[in-house]
Structure 1
């Protein structure tokens, strides 16, 4: 199939898959351009969608854009194209995060193509999970998915779990008392009628219940506000948490993390696992360094995920493709 046969409708469909990716507070901090003459996709950061107090270095922004980049690669593979991806291709333009060039004379990555059905069934679940073990074979597949993107994944050991949970609880307390971070959350959460009409952010119907008992780390997105009718529930006592780490801590490492995160989440979805993010301690530099397991950990922890078996989370809104995609001659 010739790469020149990608028409505008196909380009839009590919980007529609890409933007189903998760991002911090569902801010969707990405923009895509497709140059028809070059047959290349370009992924840009959208600075208007920064989260300045909770993500001052834009690490989370880069991770979010990396998740969308992985989805684009999956969509291309499903459509029959191999693709060459280059991260941060122009040092003089840090807003250009990646280029993706479809390759017509090479077979697509079947491993990526097989993840395509999971793109639209993957949703963050802020509900309780059952106290069930994740099989070793599934754990191994999740670790392999991260490794293929150059990132290390490890399940938090029983010895390290209490430390991680304590750090997350401390971060939640700091965040609750921080006006700037509360403003970030307020900007990106949607209540009542606004939730039904939202095209970004986290609507109140996706908050999940407030925690009554259990130790699973689930962010309380209502914060200082009261969400009428919000349920309460008991969460799992021994949550399954994973740490994703990289050897470096630069924008290129953050983009690799985003791709690894989404690949891991898609593999988890295929296996019926639910997932949520537990990034609270990562948003405080004095807590982030302590997340690494002192026995097995290496490098820089970039993300904490919670896995388990339970209710699926609802789909959260996405901006229309025409708002995030420019097609150029």
Structure 2
């Protein structure tokens, strides 16, 4: 019996969930192509949305696309499909990051499908978290989630947390001395009611969160020295709960796996009532990134630093319409 093509309505629903993924400065550096007869969705990198200053090798771009790929897999499992995924399937086309053939699932992947309610609920929170410690059992479950995608998640001890915070301060200091380091942030922030209210990408001012008056949480100030009306100042947590996500290798395939692991961790954390945010500031400086590694753990190459805790989930940031990111062939 011939297999029917994948219909456009199903593809649009899957891609809509995929694009709810986080990406650096919410640049959304992805495109999708539907091969209807092959029942396949291709994920492609959109280099027009790359960060030349802070991500010249496109590592963060791959992380964001990996997160979108994981959301696509979750959405497919929720729809009763089997997402048969190949990373970097064409050596001569490096912008083709993954292909996902969507077969009818004999036994749906329950582990993926259970994460679906969190796909649209997960938001990056740039607000203070309280000081309540995450239970050890939940930390282990989050570490298991990363392992399922071929990555490692570790919660460093207090001394290494202080090292990470020092690295963030070093990165912030470098940006102060070299204003060009702020160019990517300036390009992808939306300040002013008119611009923020109509944005379909970037970080609008309503998602900046309050300005930090005190506390140690590593939260990037997207406003910089620019004025944002009616923005509060407040105290953040003094003992931020950070986690390092790493991989053994440090090439595009590992970056894509790290992005999938990152999103799996974030979705599980959201289901378990945690607020989440990502901090890559120190990882954007090539001389600082190796120092983020915890030498006492097997985290490997640090791909992302996660800030987790109990607090406001934060507002959602805008997404481009599916019709702008999905092509059909």
| TM-score clears 0.5 | yes
Aligned match of 1:296:
297
Matched residue SS, 1:286: coil
Matched residue SS, 1:82: strand
Instruction: Give how far 1:5 is off.
Output: 5.8
Instruction: Give the gaps of 5 or more residues in structure 2.
Output: none
State the distance in 2 between where 1:145 and 1:130 align. Answer: 24
Q: Please show how residues 63-74 of structure 1 align to structure 2 within 5 Å.
A: 63-74=63-74
State the distance in 2 between where 1:255 and 1:268 align. Answer: 20
Q: What root-mean-square deviation, in Å, do the aligned CA atoms of Structure 1 and Structure 2 show?
A: 1.3
Aligned match of 1:179:
179
State the distance in 1 between where 2:131 and 2:207 align. Answer: 22
Contact 2:33-2:42 at 8 Å conserved across structures: yes
Shift in alpha-carbon separation, 1:253–1:187, aligned structure 2, 3 A: same
- Point out the more displaced range, 178-187 or 28-37: 178-187
Aligned match of 2:209:
208
- TM (normalized to structure 1)? 0.97
Aligned match of 1:220:
221
Aligned match of 1:315:
316
Aligned match of 2:127:
127
Aligned match of 2:95:
95
State the distance in 1 between where 2:110 and 2:180 align. Answer: 44
Matched residue SS, 2:91: coil
Instruction: Give how far 1:171 is off.
Output: 0.8
Contact 2:244-2:299 at 8 Å conserved across structures: no
Contact 1:176-1:224 at 8 Å conserved across structures: no
What per-residue deviation string (whole Å, max 9, x for no partner) do you get for residues 104-149 of structure 1? Answer: 2532210000000000100000000000010111111110110000
- TM (normalized to structure 2)? 0.97
Contact 1:3-1:104 at 8 Å conserved across structures: no
1:272 and 2:250 matched = no
Q: Please show how residues 4-153 of structure 1 align to structure 2 within 5 Å.
A: 4=4, 6-104=6-104, 106-153=106-153
State the distance in 2 between where 1:270 and 1:105 align. Answer: 24
Instruction: Give how far 1:3 is off.
Output: 6.1
State the distance in 1 between where 2:84 and 2:123 align. Answer: 28
What per-residue deviation string (whole Å, max 9, x for no partner) do you get for residues 269-311 of structure 1? Answer: 0001001111110000110000111212442100001001011
Matched residue SS, 1:83: strand
Matched residue SS, 1:92: coil
Instruction: Give the gaps of 5 or more residues in structure 1.
Output: none
State the distance in 2 between where 1:40 and 1:323 align. Answer: 18
